[in-house]
Amino acid sequence: MTESTNYATYENVENTLSANRDDLRYDWSVDEVTDLFKLPLMDLVLQAQLVHRRYFESNKVQLSKLISVKTGGCPEDCFYCPQSGHYHTDVAAEKILALNEVMKQAKQARDEGASRFCMGAAWRNPSDKDLEEVCAMVEGVRDLGLETCATLGMLTEPQAKRLKQSGLDYYNHNLDTSEEYYSEIITTRTYESRLETVNYVRGAGINVCCGGILGMGEKRADRAELLANLANMDEHPESVPINMLIPVAGTPLEDQPRFDSIEFVSTIAIAKMMMPASVIRLSAGREKMSDELQALCFLAGASSIFVGEKLLTAPNSGPTRDNDLFARLGINRDERAVMGS
């Protein structure tokens, strides 16, 4: 691509953003998103940071804690997941955690500076009995003053309403990738079923946490379609986690090469430009990211991270490293999701 072509593309994008400064867009075409990926990284990051500052305070990042309340033995065959019962990994199936253990971990997370506590369970879909146990966890965590999030698999409409009744703030259910590539990484559920759960969550009045995973062998066109699918929902997800694949021995994606860092930053920047009022969450894969790469992600509009030594069952960047990086970058903890909230 020539310099003049880059400039022309940049001008087109700038005009599009300028025309929509007061309105969030819900009509992105995949071609438009693909054009954004063609921009120079510096242009993308500049635009994303400017957009980010219209909705969020600068130099603030929310700390979130994600624990597994029910580990392993999942009947789904997600090719990236060590908790799938289809694969032989180091993750063993366990029973659901007791309420007192969840509360202990939530208190520790709060004391270490987290303002959001997320609970994940390796289920295809929870039984009503299991859901009641999670609702008790949600109520307890909220009483500690923490924002709550759960990811439990597919939900029925009544289950989404029950979670809302318990006071759940966010429900996470990622699209993972494009609809076209979806069957290449999961065969035990459909893309439509994921969207159905997201719609139940939205209908119940729970904030939606929905994003994807990069580096599973998908093409740039798949990443563009994923972002368009997210941004063209009736309402943008309030939370958009962007994960970098962690290849795990024993899963079908164990030999997947590491995803390109520049493409990763570009995807975060584009997500911020398309969904400016959403919290873009720098999620799985941070343990292997350099400090410089993480700094670029924050500059591109990421404003939340998961903290602690473990992220569900995967290793995560520890508190010592995170605290040191924040100090060097001049970043402070953000306990609010959006300016004015």
Q: Which sequence positions are flagged as catalytic?
A: 74, 78, 81, 118, 149, 209, 281
Count of CB atoms situated within 10 Å of the CB of 4: 8
End-to-end, the C-alpha distance of the chain in Å comes to 43
CA 192 distance to own-chain centroid:
19
Closest CA to 299 of 38, 46, 26: 46
Q: Are 275 and 230 in contact (CB under 8 A)?
A: yes
Q: Are 335 and 115 in contact (CB under 8 A)?
A: yes
Q: Where are the alpha helices (DSSP H) in 77-219?
A: 99-111, 128-143, 157-166, 179-182, 191-204
Radius of gyration of the chain measured on its C-alpha atoms: 19
Closest CA to 281 of 339, 321, 334, 318: 334
- List beta partners, residue 149: 118, 170
Count the residues in the chain.
Answer: 341
State the amino acid at position 293 in one-letter form. Answer: L
